[in-house]
Amino acid sequence: MARQIAFGKLRAMCNAGAKLRAEIGRRGATKDVGETIMAWQWAAAVVLMIAGINGVAAEDYPARTVTMIVPFAAGGPADFTGRIVADIFTRHLGQKFVVENAVGAGGTVGTLRAARAAPDGYTILSGHMGTNALASAFYPNLGYDPQKDFEAIGLSAEFPEMLVVRKDFPANNLEEFIAYARSNESKLNVGHAGLGSVSYIGCLLLNAAIGIKPTMVPFTGTAPVMNAMLAGEIDYECDPVLGTLAHVRAGNLKALAIAAKKRNPMLPDVPTSYEQGLPEFDCAPFYGVFAPGGTPKPIVEKLVEALNKGLNEESVQKRLADLGAELVEADRRGPKALADLVRSETARLMPILKAAAGK
């Protein structure tokens, strides 16, 4: 239908141009004027045709499966969050939104792929505070601009980070951890999801605050870090609550501190970093949905509306809360709020991270 309207308009425009040229001919205008008008007429027609085709694409969107890039390994916080969001889009937009875990370099490999994808709504990204705000602190040649190369769709959730240590680590609270880590730093292995990932950023803040430089071991996500911790190869990690919750509850790992001002309702016995005198260890990454820059506005609007509807659902809110998320009020979730958050978190944290990294 929209295609017919677009081509109808195109035909009408060509006819109007032809009439104008005939009129000019009748009145004896020069050949140059006639040719100029014809060139403008064709340029306008091409513009109209592109606009018409975009209109068609937006109106029918999504007409096929959409790929949602999650730039970290399956089974970790980014993946959990991405799958919840993909399910929301699938249910509200009537096409399958399929998660593809495109891992590497602290999530920047998958994020770069999303930034360079065709801006047609068929490739979108579930990113976070690292990939879409702070990664540029760690990569001089990131290949994308987190602020300019994406359209923000909306904030999915925020999760406070938590310091977890292997089950037999010789510390049971932050004070004991600090004392042990300071005298054994060269022996300690810290697992993280790559330079610039939020698990890297969390432990960077912690390590800098207590003045240690242990060995930082990169993985493609914190799900594989978890396996290495359970095998006793990694001593500690800083990960959003949802990544470690099940293992802490099962007694496979010890949780020593929530990196936030308030305790998490899912683990009410774990004290905060503030309570334990280390407010510098404060890290609550945001997770959000982004589309490649230049994605047509009507497509962006459809995604925004679907995400918002899904996040208002009680079942989704319960699922996120059960995973330890801080639920975000509706007025802080939209595209503008997310774009503002990207800007403000970049401005707030970049100097802190650069200082922590000794740059």
Please identify, using beta-carbon distances, which residue of 149 and 237 lies nearer to ligand MLT.
237
130 is a contact residue toward ligand MLT (CB under 6 A):
yes
Q: Which residue has the tokens 């109209």?
A: 48
Interaction mask 203-232, ligand MLT, x per CB under 6 A: ------------------xxx---------
198 is a contact residue toward ligand MLT (CB under 6 A):
yes
Please identify, using beta-carbon distances, which residue of 58 and 253 lies nearer to ligand MLT.
253
320 is a contact residue toward ligand MLT (CB under 6 A):
no
Q: Which two tokens stand for residue 89?
A: 């889009």
Find, among 160, 105, 152, the residue nearest to 133 by Cα.
152
How many residues contact ligand MLT, by CB under 6 A? Answer: 18
According to CB under 6 A, which residues from 67 to 86 bind ligand MLT? 72-73, 76-79
127 is a contact residue toward ligand MLT (CB under 6 A):
no
Please identify, using beta-carbon distances, which residue of 299 and 338 lies nearer to ligand MLT.
338
Please identify, using beta-carbon distances, which residue of 66 and 283 lies nearer to ligand MLT.
283
353 is a contact residue toward ligand MLT (CB under 6 A):
no
Among 99, 133, 155, 193, contact with ligand MLT (rule: CB under 6 A):
193
Please identify, using beta-carbon distances, which residue of 117 and 238 lies nearer to ligand MLT.
238
Instruction: Provide the b/e sequence for 92-122 (b: ≥16 CB within 10 Å).
Output: bbeeebebebbbbbbbbbbbbbbbebebbbb
Minimum Å distance from CB 172 to ligand MLT?
Answer: 25
Please identify, using beta-carbon distances, which residue of 235 and 239 lies nearer to ligand MLT.
239
Minimum Å distance from CB 239 to ligand MLT?
Answer: 6
Binding site for ligand MLT (CB under 6 A): 72-73, 76-79, 107, 130, 193, 197-199, 221-223, 239-240, 243
